[in-house]
């Protein structure tokens, strides 16, 4: 009986070891799955770190108490082709530098000490939006938490090379910002391309200060409008460019608020299929009655989607809205209020429920 039991025990042991190896390999190569959070759950940096499974941290401290004193130096230290999530912890302070995340360095989690404590600041205007940007991310799978990005270039003369001063240029797929802030006087956030998620962020600017052709959700974001007296043409919060019907792009604003100084449009069309929706958002009196504009675009309005759903506040009045804007029904807006609009369940570590 003992001779018979030995081979069976060995077989069981071998089977068990093979199973363990298989499970380990599966877990190692399985992409992380986004998890919805309830209203009671606070999405903070420890939660994101846990869900991403990160165990490596590079510390940046402007006072020299970390691994680097410069944010860009920390980014440069990460090898090209990086395949594992790494935290770049930018401790409190004002870091006066331009920062670039190149496309060869994915899986970076830039963690600040709070948008009121950690700031990346530069001052540059240019006739080229990208050249002026304080912060540029061109690598997929990038997350930032608790960091302010600011371009403090003074407001120049309208329609000149001193008119572009971008705070952040977002040009990669699967990029998320939690509890971050973006400051400039003009062209603040260049949401160029890719699937993006902004939660509980603060965005400040004057004319077309959220623009591009990204496929993005802005959830619970605070948008502050600065009055621009340089031109008789009123500015817009958003300028979304969608040139063709097959493009998946669009800017969706959910449960935030828009307020500030002076009059401004919610958005303007930059392409024949421009798509912008404000849903369940508070609109102050800074939003003019017309709501929307197609200044600089002289094509048909037939395919534009400039819509609102259950907006509230003194700027949310329906009376006086341009005839080609839309007050959406629950059925019409449903696909855009889902995290599936950006396929978020497949790549976000956390999102609203």
User: Known catalytic residues?
Assistant: 208
Q: How far is CA 212 from CA 52, 99, 194, 260, in A?
A: 28, 20, 10, 22
* CA atoms within 13 Å, Cβ hemisphere of 325: 26
Tokens coding 134: 């304080």
- Could you tell me if 87 and 349 are in contact, meaning their C-beta atoms sit under 8 angstroms apart? no
Find out whether 224 and 206 touch, Cβ atoms under 8 Å: no
Structure-token match 């792009």, residue found: 249
Neighbours of 95 (CB within 10 A): 20
- Determine contact, residues 190/153, Cβ cutoff 8 Å: no
Encode 209-246: b = buried (16+ Cβ within 10 Å), e = exposed: bbbbbbbbbbbbbbbbbbebebeeebbbbbbbbbeeee
List 128's β-bridge partners, or say none. none
240 - beta bridge partners? 212, 269
Single out the residue of 288, 272, 281, 226 nearest to residue 252, CA to CA: 281
Tokens of 78: 């990460």
């Amino acid at each position: 009986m003992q001779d018979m039991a030995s081979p069976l025990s060995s077989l069981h042991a071998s089977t068990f070891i093979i199973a363990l190896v298989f499970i380990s390999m599966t877990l190692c190569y399985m992409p992380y799955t986004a998890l919805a959070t309830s209203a009671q759950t606070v999405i903070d940096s420890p939660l994101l770190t846990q869900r991403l499974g990160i165990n490596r941290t590079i510390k940046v401290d402007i006072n020299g108490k970390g691994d680097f004193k410069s944010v860009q130096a920390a980014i440069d230290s990460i090898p090209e082709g990086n395949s594992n999530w790494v935290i770049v912890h930018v401790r409190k302070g004002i870091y006066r530098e331009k920062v670039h995340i190149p496309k060869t360095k994915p899986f970076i989690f830039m963690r600040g000490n709070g948008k009121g404590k950690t700031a990346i600041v530069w001052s540059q205007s240019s006739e080229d939006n990208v050249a002026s940007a304080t912060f540029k991310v061109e690598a997929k799978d990038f997350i930032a938490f608790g960091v302010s990005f600011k371009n403090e270039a003074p407001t120049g003369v309208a329609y000149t090379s001193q008119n572009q001063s971008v705070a952040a240029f977002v040009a990669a797929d699967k990029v998320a910002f939690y509890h971050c802030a973006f400051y400039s006087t003009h062209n603040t956030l260049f949401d160029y391309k890719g699937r993006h998620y902004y939660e509980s962020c603060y965005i400040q600017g004057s004319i077309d200060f959220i623009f591009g052709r990204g496929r993005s959700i802005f959830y619970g974001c605070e948008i502050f409008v600065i009055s621009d007296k340089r031109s008789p043409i009123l500015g817009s919060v958003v300028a979304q460019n969608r040139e063709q019907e097959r493009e998946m792009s669009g800017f969706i604003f959910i449960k935030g608020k828009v307020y500030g100084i002076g009059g401004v449009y919610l958005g303007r069309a930059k392409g024949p299929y421009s798509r912008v929706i404000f849903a369940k958002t508070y609109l102050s009196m800074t939003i003019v009655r017309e709501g929307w504009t197609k200044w600089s675009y002289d094509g048909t309005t037939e395919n534009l989607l400039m819509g609102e759903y259950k907006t509230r506040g003194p700027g949310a009045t329906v009376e006086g809205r341009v005839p080609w804007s839309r007050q959406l029904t629950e059925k019409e807006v449903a696909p855009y209020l889902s995290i599936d609009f950006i396929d978020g369940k497949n790549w976000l570590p956390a999102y609203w429920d």
